[in-house]
Chain A
Amino acid sequence: MEIKGEYQIAAMRGVVWQALNDPDVLKACIPGCEEFERAGENSFRAKIKATIGPVRANFNTILSLEDLNPPESYRLVGESKAAAGFGRGIANISLVETEDGTLLRYDADFKVGGKLAQVGSRLVVGATKKTADDFFSAFCTSLDPAAYRVDEEPEAATKSAVPKTWLAVAAAAIVLLIWWFLLG
């Protein structure tokens, strides 16, 4: 499953890069993030309690940064585990200098396993897009209250009453987000 997005942020690229590497900023932008710590020079460990409606899961996440090319790009490789299953994926993130500041681009490829795959793999993409969007808007607005998403959508995935099983999936998707902000 692939998802991608672009955000325009009115901040210097170096500032954005730094924020993406600041555990405190990231932790603040991840819903339910209880712990976020550096595990090595280019890796992080996080614990996230994702609670949506009646579904709650604790995800242990490990992220590592590869192909670092500051302040332009890097690759984030992550894996999240919980009793409800696992998610793993790769996200490519790039920062492009623009007239108005910085354009943040991400494209991620991920997959899920265990109960997450069993009960809702086809729902994960939509839910993950929403969560990704939530994270990046929180991240971007923390740097620039006027930051906005450049590429169109998101439509359907975000609205409506979500059945309970979807919620578990959405919870998992939150975990996936972690990778992205971990980039920082």
Chain B
Amino acid sequence: MTKNGMGASVRRKEDYRFITGSGQYTDDINRPNQVYAYIVRSPVAHAHIRDLDISAAVATPGVVAVLTGADMAADEVGSLPCGWGINNKDGSPMFEPGHPPLAADTVHHVGDQIAVVIATSRAIAKDAAELVEVDYDELPVVAGLEAASADGAALVWPDAPGNVCFDWEIGDKAATDAAFEQATRVASIDVVNNRLIANAMEPRSAIGEYDSGKDEYTLYTTSQNPHVIRLLMGAFVLGIPEHKLRVIAPDVGGGFGSKIFHYAEEAIMTWASRKLKRPVKWTAERSESFISDAHGRDHISHAELAMDDDGMFLGLRVSTRANLGAYLSTFGPSVPTYLHATLLAGTYKTPAIYAEVKGMFTNTVPVDAYRGAGRPEASYLLERLVDRAAKVAGLDPIEIRRRNFIKPEDFPYQTPVALEYDTGDYEAAVEKALELSDYDNFESRKNASAERGKLRGIGISTYIEACGIAPSNVAGALGARAGLYEAGTVRVNPTGSVTVLTGSHSHGQGHETTFAQLVTEALGVDFDAVEIVHGDTGKVPFGMGTYGSRSAAVGGVALVNALEKIRTKAKKIAAHLLEASADDVEFKDGQLTVVGTDRSVGFGDVAMSAYVPHNYPLDELEPGLEETAFYDPKNFTFPAGCHICEVEIDPDTGVVQVVRFTAADDFGRVINPMIVEGQVHGGLTQGIGQALYENCVYDESGQLLSGSLMDYCLPKADNVPDFAVTTNVTPCTHNVLGVKGCGEAGAIGAPPAVINAVVNALAEFGIDDMPIPATPERVWQAIQAAK
């Protein structure tokens, strides 16, 4: 292993600027002559705009402009596009409503954009926004899945009967029905997967800037994928060709999915900057984030598992309703379908699976990917159901899982729901987790808790996720409207330092470090001589960005492929310099050596020779040393693992505390263990947040009640324990790095482990279900009801 190469816990390059306060987040950037935007948003969930009076706002000193949907329509600004189409069971396409960046005549959720007030200061813009008078003709509201699916429910969109966006299915219905006919035991469960709000600590922000001399636009934005924003906004919304539009996502303060999507504000600022010929900046206040960032999860599902007498799974039937919100966010429809139902096989060899998913409109903020995106919903449903199946079959929760696992010899394994798992060893992960969690001594810990008046419970989950999204042809066949490859460029500078341009974006994941490790590993150059550039369409050739734990598995592999091209060319140059055949040149630790001799040349000399080609094979090779690779993965990657949670419950208050948490994860090969552990810690904490603390609540009129950090409970430092984490490596078989991805695992495996532990702790009361999140009130009520 190279000192700072693959597998080393190298300290992060990016940290210096963050710990000294010199990071550059979007709101830290100010452009000359900049003005400030404040967005007027709807306070009602559904209404026609009868009248919009901006005159008082326009007349306010310091106000530069007040722009509305009518101005956008006049400029023929397009609708915010949806990037994934889903077909109904009958093959017809889903219903796609228009989504103007500023509402034209109807608002569809609290927070919907109505107008933008632009002024010389933030305070003036905000004050003037209060003077915009909107007269609403209110319409009936459906604020949740139950209301939207009720008989005679009001319609969010008149052309979407029953509020159904799509009614989709996957799997073999007949085979699954047949499995249930054979079954001697059936377990079933109804679960709600709670609606969540990502709440990255940095609120979204955007600065639009227009250069009238060159007719060029620049958008600074808090995005996980600037190239995708350039594509969507340029091509579909504003009609700006790529070469005239530069999108920069500078330091971004966390994303967790919520910064994947193309948001209205990005288009509004870019458009307004041209109208005003001045840079226009907008930064969300947190309470604005709550009603304008896409939300996550929000499913209601019924599931049934057919078994034989031995507890072997025969068939799984799942019916899910998924809340999509009022409009379709960029990837909204893909989340409850191809990112959810395709994962319902989990780690088990269930021969027949059938799932149907109804995507539904409601008068709420659009719902899209949030850390895990569909996979946490699948994992939660399945792992709660398997725990229940264990009870039905009279088996230990671990034993029933062991019996039904896909075994190492079964790979590659084709599931009944489209995916082909390449590799894994689920039993081994369970063994590691059991050992690390000291599972065998749980009873003594339970007794010790009981002596202190506490109820102790233990819960297990195993999970699988499909990451490294995705083979473009597969994704395209499933409805994706974009490719999903990644690009990487390696530019070896004349003095031997290396600049990498990657389409993956880092907003906490540490790519500037891990990608530099890959360069050090491949070229032997000093770690400090490597610079990773990302987040700027003006510098990076192309990229699809960071989500779905794809950076290492797709962006990292693209980089490694570009590095391989550099190595090949370097060998040719060295062969010339050393008067040998390229086949005889070995490239190791930064030295290029003729095998079996002491003749060698350093990589730095090769680089210099490429740029000062005085002694150079110019008739065979171009000068320079820069290579680009595009990598389109052959398959998804399939990280998997086993999580074990122990909780203590205070029966007098219902407060649940996670006291121990163990994770044994298989992420394939690991580039930087320190960073991977950090990703797991963060994912687990968000998973525990979903299980115990976080819940997005609307009232029946579509008002968001959990609309601030006072009411939406993010996990705090004393809400979570120290985690015990380990890895169990089965390298991915279809990428050269053998990596699978680690960013979402914690958020996928943790919620079912926590709730299974809570239910286990309450078993003595005969309780076998607990809604998520298991808040103190719910737990206390359940205990009282059982008493």
Contacts and interface: CB of A to CB of B under 8 A. Distances in A.
B110 interface: yes
A118 B130 CA distance: 17
B708 interface: yes
Interface in B683-730: 699, 701, 703-705, 707-708, 710-711
Interface residues of A, number: 18
A118 B704 contact: yes
A121 B699 CA distance: 10
B130 A117 contact: no
Nearest to B40: A83
Interface in A37-86: 57-58, 82-83, 85-86
A121 B129 contact: no
B590 interface: no
B43 A114 contact: yes
A122 B705 CA distance: 8
Contacts of B129: 83
Contacts of B701: 111, 113
Given A58-B130, A83-B129, A111-B701, A122 B43 contact: no
Interface in B35-93: 43-44
Contacts of B290: 118
A119 interface: yes
A105 interface: no
B714 to A, nearest CB: 16
Contacts of B704: 117-118
A86 B708 contact: no
Interface of B: 43-44, 110, 129-130, 132, 287, 290-291, 699, 701, 703-705, 707-708, 710-711
A163 to B, nearest CB: 9
18 contacts: A83-B130, A83-B132, A86-B44, A111-B701, A111-B703, A113-B43, A114-B43, A115-B287, A118-B703, A118-B708, A119-B707, A119-B710, A119-B711, A120-B708, A121-B703, A122-B705, A122-B711, A165-B710
A95 B705 CA distance: 36
Q: Is the interface of A mostly helix, strand, loop or mixed?
A: mixed
Nearest to A84: B130
Contacts of A114: 43-44, 110, 703
Contact of A121 (B130, B287, B705): B705
B755 to A, nearest CB: 26
B619 to A, nearest CB: 70
Contacts of B711: 119, 122
A159 B44 CA distance: 32
Nearest to B705: A121
Contacts of A120: 708, 710
- Of all A-B residue pairs in the complex, the 5 with the closest CB atoms, nearest first, are A114-B43, A118-B707, A83-B130, A117-B703, A119-B708
A57 B43 CA distance: 15
A118 B44 contact: no
Nearest to A121: B705
Contacts of A119: 287, 707-708, 710-711
A120 B707 CA distance: 8
Given A83-B130, A86-B43, A118 B710 contact: no
Q: Is the interface of B mostly helix, strand, loop or mixed?
A: loop
Interface string A141-170: 000000000000000000000000100000
Given A58-B130, A113-B110, A165-B708, A118 B699 contact: no
Contact of B43 (A58, A115, A121): A115
B130 to A, nearest CB: 3
Central interface residue in B699, B703, B710, B711, by most chain A CB within 10 Å: B703
Nearest to A58: B130
Contact of A113 (B44, B130, B287): B44
A86 B130 CA distance: 12
A29 to B, nearest CB: 26
A121 B502 CA distance: 46
Contacts of B132: 83
Central interface residue in A57, A58, A82, A121, by most chain B CB within 10 Å: A121
B198 to A, nearest CB: 17
A117 B708 contact: no
A50 B717 CA distance: 38
Interface string A114-143: 110111111000000000000000000000
Given A111-B701, A113-B110, A118-B703, 15 more contacts: A57-B130, A83-B129, A86-B43, A113-B43, A113-B701, A113-B703, A114-B44, A114-B110, A114-B703, A117-B707, A118-B291, A119-B287, A119-B707, A121-B705, A165-B708
Contacts of B707: 115, 117-119
A122 to B, nearest CB: 7
Contacts of A113: 43-44, 110, 701, 703
A118 B699 CA distance: 10
A127 B670 CA distance: 55
Nearest to B711: A122
A91 to B, nearest CB: 19
Contacts of A111: 701, 703
A117 B699 contact: yes
A68 B710 CA distance: 42
A82 B703 contact: no
Contacts of A165: 708, 710
A120 B703 CA distance: 11
Contacts of A58: 130
B3 to A, nearest CB: 52
B569 to A, nearest CB: 58
A137 to B, nearest CB: 30
B110 A82 contact: no
B65 to A, nearest CB: 18
Interface string A80-100: 001101100000000000000
Contacts of A57: 130
Nearest to A111: B701
Contacts of B291: 118
Nearest to A166: B710
A60 to B, nearest CB: 9
A123 to B, nearest CB: 9
Contacts of B43: 85-86, 113-115
A121 B287 CA distance: 14
Nearest to B129: A83
B605 to A, nearest CB: 63
A20 B428 CA distance: 78
A165 B710 CA distance: 10
Contacts of B710: 119-120, 165
A82 B287 contact: no
A174 to B, nearest CB: 17
A181 B392 CA distance: 63
B109 to A, nearest CB: 12
Nearest to B126: A83
B130 A82 contact: yes
A42 B704 CA distance: 34
Contacts of A82: 130
A184 B699 CA distance: 32
A115 B44 CA distance: 10
A54 to B, nearest CB: 13
Nearest to B131: A83
A83 B701 CA distance: 19
Given A82-B130, A122-B711, A117 B44 contact: no
B115 to A, nearest CB: 12
Nearest to B704: A118
Contacts of B703: 111-114, 117-118, 121
Contacts of A118: 110, 287, 290-291, 703-705, 707-708
Central interface residue in A57, A83, A118, A121, by most chain B CB within 10 Å: A118
Central interface residue in A82, A111, A119, A165, by most chain B CB within 10 Å: A119
